[in-house]
Amino acid sequence: MLSPAGLLLRGASRCLPLSRHVPFVIQRLALQQGLNRLFAVPVADGAFDILRDRWLCLKVRDLQLQWFLTCTDAGLQVAARAPAQVSISGNWSDFLLLASRQEDPDTLFFRRRLVIEGDTELGLAIKNLLDSLDPDDLPPWFWTVLQRLGQEQKLRAAS
């Protein structure tokens, strides 16, 4: 019998590929609001200032999705296209492992499961920023769900 996290991952594996068909305006609205709520404390503390006047292209290869992110006085902003200085790409399950801290970021990049292209110094600074974010700054329910999903994904990858 599958755990709740296993059921959620199974559903995500089937539903997430459909997200590329969601109009970008809806993707942008959901991502921008979600990111700014989740990272409200680090954004307010200036942790994301490395993205001021610079753009990160985030590519989720297996979902055929990409977004461009920057940081402004209004917070994190998402665009459909921008002159990106750096790109980070990978499959959604590898981003899940990174976000849930179930896999070491250096390992994911060393094994080329996540790839930095462009300004590697900026890419490494972003990787270090993500690795340094304090889970205590996230809503507790979100961190708990993220950890459980990451643990389940790690078990799946190991078997």
CA 55 to CA 70: how far, in whole Å?
5
pLDDT tens per residue, range 14-72 = 888 889 999 999 999 999 999 999 899 899 999 999 999 999 999 999 999 999 999 99
Are 77 and 32 in contact by the 8 Å Cβ rule? The answer is yes
Amino acid letter for position 122: L
Instruction: Supply 1's token pair.
Output: 């019998």
Is domain 4-158 given the CATH code 2.40.100.10 in the classification? Answer: no
Q: If DSSP codes are grouped into helix, strand and coil, which group holds residue 139?
A: coil
Enumerate the domain spans of the chain.
Answer: 4-158
pTM: 0.90
